[in-house]
Amino acid sequence: MTYLLYGSPQSLFTRKLQTALEFYPLHYRFRQKRGSGIEEQLELRSGTHQMPVLQTPENWLLADTTPIIALLDARYPAFRLFPRGVDGFLVHLLEDIFDEWISRVMVHYRWRYPDTAGPAAEQLANGDPEMAARIRAWGPRACRATGTETAEAGADAEREYEFILQLMESQLQETRYLLGPTPTALDCAALGGLHAHMLNDHDPAVLMRSYKVVSQWAADNQQDAAKFPVDEAPQYEATTFARQFLERVAPAYKAFLLGNKVALAQGDKSFLATIYGHEVSFLARNYPENARQMLVDRLHYQLDDSERQQAIGLLDEFDLAECFAGAPGDTALTDSQH
């Protein structure tokens, strides 16, 4: 029973899912999507042109990493990357912030700096010069869409990520993973960015030389290296990393998430949000709203009353309750990009 992962080594979400696949007791093979000769079929059946796409042993083609991980958790419950209960809600919240907010930093580093942008476009094109030129031209539009078009916004994003790296460097000297001794979907999201972007692309790789613990952690959790620690009971905690990360990042994430929600409801193509004291423009996109709704659904459908109150208390602590106060199930999961 083999899973096939179609994507790109330079894709954050491909590497996120690949990291997750390493933690499960399953067999998978990786294939480059671009140049596979079946791109059209993959996109038609998965419903998206984005990467990655996972082909299951049943010949399903799936293209959203968060539900894919949830599916694999159900198949391999002893290796869950989304724990049950409040721990699972915390993991999902942190994973969503990495997916929908911190990912903009990767876009910024890759396309802001010429020494990185050119080689990255060539790698993503997988040997197709015409495709490489189109990808290189797309890069600045991606920065504009995700709120790092201006030098000011880009500098804020870099300062934010360096703060996160400092937290990771400290936490990983105390625990094997970011929430304790057991890996979670949060670790997969963080490692996806490290593998695909920060340790691969020229300019951020220079930055990463200062973070030896994080770099070694990434090396220890890559293909044929990562193993789920099955010899001990799963343990999770709201670590120093988790709390200081939320204290720093939650206000910006909230402004982005709610701004995007309102823009979509009003039919606006873009919106402004105040990020670290600066007014920043973003493209209104469906997926961050769909991802927000997944958290709303988890809050309502996967927690009992006591757990739900604990999760709401966590949201209140970091002033995020307003983000997830809506009714469950009122947003269709479309335009998958993960």
The residue among 91, 101, 30 whose CA lies nearest residue 241 is 91
Question: Which letter, b or e, does each residue of 238-258 get, where b requires 16 or more Cβ atoms within 10 Å of its Cβ?
Answer: bbebbebbbebbbbbbbbbbb
| Sheet of strand 2-7: strand arrangement | 27-32, 2-7, 53-55, 61-62
Return the pLDDT at 325. Answer: 79
Q: From CA 65, how far away is CA 110, in angstroms rounded?
A: 22
Q: From CA 242, how far away is CA 246, in angstroms rounded?
A: 6
- Per residue in 95-112, pLDDT tens? 999 999 999 999 999 999
Return the pLDDT at 329. Answer: 60
Distances (CA, A) of 139 to 119, 134, 165, 279, 309: 12, 9, 24, 22, 42
The secondary structure of residue 99, as a DSSP letter, is: I
pLDDT category at 32 given cuts 50, 70, 90 is confident
Nearby residues of 71 by Cβ (< 8 Å), 6 or more positions away: 62
Measure CA 194 to chain center: 11
Return the pLDDT at 174. Answer: 96
Asked if residues 111 and 203 have their Cβ atoms less than 8 Å apart, the reply is no
- Per residue in 313-327, pLDDT tens? 999 999 999 999 776
Query: Domain 2-79: what homologous superfamily?
Result: Glutaredoxin (3.40.30.10)
pLDDT category at 337 given cuts 50, 70, 90 is very low
Residues of the chain with CATH 3.40.30.10: 2-79
Return the pLDDT at 227. Answer: 82
